[in-house]
Structure formats: C-alpha cells, structure tokens
Amino acid sequence: MMRSLYSGVAGLKTHQTKMDVIGNNIANVNTTAYKSSSVTFADLMSQTTQSASGANQSTGVGGVNARQIGLGVKSGAINVNITSQGSAQSTGNPFDIMITGDNFFVVSDGLSNYFTRDGSFYVDGVGNLCMTSTGYNVKGWGVDPETLSIKKDSVQSLRIMSSDNLTYPPEATTKGLVEGILDKNDTDVNSESGKYVNLNFYDSLGYEYTARFAIKSTDVEGEFSVELNKIMDSKGKELDLSEAQDLFGSQTSVQDQESVVFNSNAYAWDTTAKTLTNADGTTVVADLNAINIPPTTADDQAALDAIAKAYGFDGSTDSFLNLYVMDGENKVKVSNLLNNAKNGSSPSIFDPDNDAATTTNNFTAAGRFFTGSVLKFNTDTGLFESIDGSVKGDTVLGTSKLISDEEKKTSNFEDIALNWSGISMFNNNGTSTVTATYGDKDGLGTGRRLGDMIGVSIQRDGCIYASYDNGMTKLLGQIATASFPNASGLEKHGDNLYEATMNSGSFDGIGVDVTASGGYMSTGVLEMSNVDLSAEFTEMITTQRGFQANSRIITVSDTLLEELTNLKR
C-alpha cells in the first residue's frame, strides 16, 4: 500500500518538474534566440518480489518471468531544442544580426568566453562591438596591417570605431585619363586661348587642385598643341610655377602659323620715356624699364596684361609673350622684343622690322613658342595617333616638382601619368567634348581627400566594412563563430548565454567562419524564440492530467489505508 503512495508522490514531483519546464518555455516565448526545453520521463526503480526462473527441460516445466512492482517515475532528461532555428524578426538596426545555421556568436566578459545566438549588438563608448543586454564584447578576427586581409588568429574584441577607423587617409593622385572628341572646327580650339580642359587631382594631404590645359589648333592638319595653362587650388588661387617649369611636355617647341598682325594704333609708345598711352592720352604703362619680363610681381603682371590688351591679343598674357616675329631667319619672342625696347637694342617692339621708315605700333607674329606636347591624329580615320611621339598616349604631369614646404623644399604631390589615347578627331558640329578625369580605366590612382566614416555594414560572412564620404571602404574585422559537435551539451549561463561543457565539446579559441558550414549572417534582423505555444499548451494539458491522475493515486491509497484501520472497530 505504501508503495502506491510513494509512486503517486514521485509522479506529482516529476509532473511538477515538467510543468516548470513548460512554464519557463512560455515565459520566454519572446526572448531573443531562446531555445525551448522538453522533459522525458523514466521509471524510478522496481521492487522484485520474485526473480525470473528458467525452463526445466527434464521435467518440461516452463520458465517464470520476474515479478516486479514499480516504485514511481523520475525525470529522465531535460533536452534543449538548440538546433531548431527560430523565425526572423526585422528590426532595421544594422547591428542586429541573426545566424542561420548551427553556429554561435562568441562573447566575453573579459575573463571567460561565452556563446550565444542573441545577435542584438551595439557599439559602446570606446568603439567595441558589444552585446546590448550584458555589454560583453563580441569576439572576432582583426585585419593584418600588411596584407589588409582578415588574420584568423585567436579571437579578440572587435573595436570597429577606433580613431584609426573613423577616417580614411588621403592619397595623392598618380593617374589621369583624357577622353572625348576634339572637333577641329571648334571655335575655342581655334582661338588664341584654346580649348580649356581641367584635370582635378589631390596631393598627399587630401587637398584638391585643378590643372588647366589648353588645346590649340596649328597650321598642320591633324596636329594640336597641348599646354599646361595653370594650376589652381580649391579656392581658385593660382600656384606659383616659377620654380616648377616644364611640368608638362617633353620640351619647349616652336609652332609656326599664318602671319597675324597685332594692331596698337589706338595706343602710342613714347620711345624715349618708354611710356604707353591710349588715344585720350591716359597712361597705360608708366615706365617699361620698371617692368620685369617675364613678370615677377603682381605689378609686372598687370602692366604686361595691359600691353597685351593694347595690341588686341585675346589670349593669355603668357601666350602673348611667347609669340614670335621673324628677324631675318631668326625667331624672336615678343618678350624679347619688350626687353629689347628696354635696353635699346634692335629689333624692338617699337620697330619690329628694324626699319625706321616703317616704324608703327604694330607687329606681325609668325608663330609661337610653347612648353607642352604635340597631339597628333590620323587625318584619314580621325583616331588618336600620338602625343609627344607616344603612340600609347602616355604623358606625365610633373606635379612632384611643385614645392609645398618652401622651408624644407618638400612636395606633397606625386607625378601624374596622363593618358590621351581616348581622344578622337571627329566632326561633332563644332563642339569638342574632351574631358580629363583622375584615375585610369580601372579606377586606380585617383587619389582622394580625407574621408569621414559615414556607415558600417556587415556581410553574410561576418566581415565588417566601413564606408567613407570620399568613396572608399575599409575592412574593419570579421565576427567569429563557434561550432560544437554536440550543441545540446552546452550549459545555460543566463542572459541568453551558454558555456561549453565536457559533453558539448570545447572551444579552440580561434573559432570558425560562419559560412564554412553553410551558414550565414543577416543584418537588421534577430532570431526569435523557437517556443511553439500550441505544442506547449498541449503539453500543459497532458501534464495537468498526469498530475491529477497521480494525485488520485494518493487519494485512493489513503482511502484503502483508512478502510484497513477501520477493521479494528
């Protein structure tokens, strides 16, 4: 009689344990990445009242089974449904990550490593990727500074917002590309100033500059001159190129052209005082002797600009000074004519033909000197042929000659390899479309300014990339994962964390790539609890009935005992 009482008690305790597990499952129905548990029962033990006997072959009597009375039930095991994937819950937070597969995130409190499926992360005050609930650091692999690839060594904290990662360093431009159509009938190409083409580029500190080239037609069919006109900073201020001559082009060349007469009849020179006045007697240049040619000061430049304007030249003053006139068989620059006028030698700008009887304020230019490159096209096909003799179209803009630090004579610039082979000489209704861009056809050598971090993205394999407002991206690290032979053997630690046990398998301290076993990570979503409420409610009903039935065992046994004690009455 007492056996049935204790069997009932054991049944009540065991069903209470199952109810505890069910209650915990239901309580965690909305816990991120929670894995439900289930209970299996096992009989407790049995009392053998008669052992089994074997058959007696000599007498023909058969064997008898053992007589055993069970003494109750116990919890056989509490299993965690750890391999069942929970549904995805969208959050929109880029640091919320869900693992699809059987792997676990690795986190640490600074002393021990723990494992979790809860991918609710954030970046803390020092830039580390951490668990939102506990603040534990998420572990992963860093980037090898030499190869700039992931170094799969012992896992470490992922500091993705360090000072080094908040900005992307600038870089000097080293390559450029010139492409488009150069129409020989373009009025700009045929003007004195030429067709301007701007190339933007960066120095090694990330400052932006603009190199302006002028493409001008010549009297030779299919040939054009390409000259570096100026270099300006981002505010439009021109750089001083006085110590950086011949930045572009192989050598100073002479370019013949049809004779052009430059008139100055509205102006007059006083050959004695070396003064230039206009028609109303207003002084334009007070003293030619006081002007440095080429100019070295702003006053020199202003005076020479006025002289070029007086002669009706519509190009730059530098181009005006580089025009030449014929002195017999010699070619004399206008700049030399002005200097001759200063020192009284002949010929001068007062009398270019050195004939006093025909002295006028005019001169006839037969061509010009220029420092740059000769651009040639095939006159039959209109395709690019060469520049400075290079059929591949390669030239160099020698910006490394520009001095950035006058005191130390150092330069923040790199030479820029420019390729011109993308230009063609086709008819485009008098409009040229030539443009210059930094970088080559593969986008290399573009240079860049300093970039500020504008975003962080996490790839399917856990690699973390930062994007910057200068168009660059940078690999910051990779989230490592842990894999166990028997994940169900992990021990719950609380806070959605697990610890490795002897039966789960150990963590080697390095971890594995989540994609190695076919898994992947998704951002902006979290794994939900895998608790099935319908199954839990069903289990609750059967548990309740089991508990009621076991309580009836105790009630009935008590009634039987009561009848037994009443026999003495």
Are 235 and 378 members of one domain?
yes
Say whether pLDDT at 329 is over 90.
no
Are 34 and 179 members of one domain?
no
| Structural domain includes residue 77 | yes
Model pLDDT for residues 131-145, shown as the tens digit of each residue:
999 999 999 999 998
Last residue in a domain, options 334, 361, 388? 361
Looking at 187-333, list the stretches that DSSP marks H as alpha helix, in order from N- to C-terminal side: 298-310, 317-321
pTM above 0.75, yes or no: no
Residue appearing with tokens 């005006």: 320
Q: Is the dihedral of CA 549, 554, 558, 564 positive or negative?
A: positive
Structural domain that includes position 57: 2-83+530-568
> How many whole angstroms separate alpha carbon 503 and alpha carbon 519?
23
| 245 band by pLDDT with thresholds 50, 70 and 90 | low
Last residue in a domain, options 339, 361, 383? 361
Last residue in a domain, options 309, 333, 361? 361
At residue 281, the pLDDT reads 82
With a CB cutoff of 8 Å and minimum separation 6, the contacts of 40 are 75, 76, 77, 78, 79
Are 54 and 6 members of one domain?
yes
Are 62 and 126 members of one domain?
no
Average pLDDT of span 251-278: 76
pLDDT greater at residue 420 or residue 339: 420
Are 355 and 270 members of one domain?
yes
Model pLDDT for residues 532-559, shown as the tens digit of each residue:
999 999 999 999 999 999 888 888 888 8
Say whether pLDDT at 275 is over 90.
no
Pairing type for strands 175-181 and 416-424 reads parallel
469: its two tokens: 């407002």
> How many independent structural domains does the chain possess?
4
Are 140 and 113 members of one domain?
yes
CATH number at residue 244: 2.60.98.20
Are 247 and 378 members of one domain?
yes
Least confident among 55-59, 111-115, 374-378, 443-447: 55-59
| 358 band by pLDDT with thresholds 50, 70 and 90 | low
Are 59 and 111 members of one domain?
no
At residue 199, the pLDDT reads 97
| Structural domain includes residue 244 | yes
At residue 252, the pLDDT reads 65
What DSSP assignment string belongs to 320-374? HHTEEEEETTEEEEHHHHHHHHHHT-SSBTTBTTS-GGG--S-EEEEEEEEEEEE
Are 475 and 436 members of one domain?
no
| Structural domain includes residue 256 | no
| Structural domain includes residue 378 | yes
Average pLDDT of span 112-129: 94
Say whether pLDDT at 174 is over 60.
yes
| Structural domain includes residue 258 | no
Burial 470-501 (b: 16+ CB within 10 A, else e): beeebbbbbbbbbbbeebebbeeeeebbbebe
| Structural domain includes residue 88 | no
Least confident among 265-279, 366-380, 434-448: 265-279
Model pLDDT for residues 198-219, shown as the tens digit of each residue:
999 999 999 999 999 999 988 7
At residue 170, the pLDDT reads 95
Are 515 and 537 members of one domain?
no
| Structural domain includes residue 291 | yes
Model pLDDT for residues 442-495, shown as the tens digit of each residue:
999 999 999 999 999 999 999 999 999 999 999 999 999 999 999 999 999 999
Are 337 and 466 members of one domain?
no
> How many whole angstroms separate alpha carbon 372 and alpha carbon 55?
118
At residue 554, the pLDDT reads 84
> How many whole angstroms separate alpha carbon 352 and alpha carbon 341?
10
| Structural domain includes residue 259 | no
At residue 314, the pLDDT reads 76
Which amino acid is located at 17 in the chain?
T
Give the three-class secondary structure for 263. Answer: coil
Are 268 and 357 members of one domain?
yes
